[in-house]
Amino acid sequence: MHEMSLVMSIWDIVETEIEKHQYRIINEIELEVGESLGVISEFMETCFDAVKIERKETTKTKLKIITKQSIAKCNRCNRTWDYKDHWYICPDCGISDSEIIEGKGIHFLGMEIDE
């Protein structure tokens, strides 16, 4: 499960942001997660609470996950399709020479702050 390492890197960002902007209370952290990562939101939330940084700014912080559809593209015929329907196999060529062009990573969308 890679949720734990993803969450730990998110906390690194949060900590840096707190120091940089002197935020007082972080209510919520919003993330966009590509479907192709196969992340389980509930598990991610559990990890999030487990590795929460111990500081007053984050005692009530909640995680909000927005799942982004993953689109795959065939490198041979350039066809695009919904990743979860065919994984890496092109529905036209039947080969697995493809890449994810959308919804392939995790993005930090922002934080809701109490000034």
Under the rule (CB under 5 A), what is the footprint of Zn ion? 74, 76-77, 79, 90, 92-93
Considering beta carbons, is residue 41 or 80 the nearer one to Zn ion? 80
Nearest Cα neighbor of 7 from 55, 58, 50 is 50
- φ/ψ of 2, rounded to 5, equals -100, 0
| Residue 37 CB, nearest approach to Zn ion (Å) | 23
| Residue 10 CB, nearest approach to Zn ion (Å) | 35
Considering beta carbons, is residue 10 or 72 the nearer one to Zn ion? 72
Considering beta carbons, is residue 18 or 74 the nearer one to Zn ion? 74
| Residue 35 CB, nearest approach to Zn ion (Å) | 20
| Residue 102 CB, nearest approach to Zn ion (Å) | 17
Considering beta carbons, is residue 82 or 92 the nearer one to Zn ion? 92
**Tell me, what DSSP letter sits at residue 72?**
E
From residue 57, alpha-carbon distances to 1, 26, 44, 69, 88 in Å are 28, 6, 20, 32, 42
23: amino acid identity, one letter:
Y
What is the C-alpha to C-alpha distance for residues 108 and 9, in angstroms, rounded to an integer?
A: 10
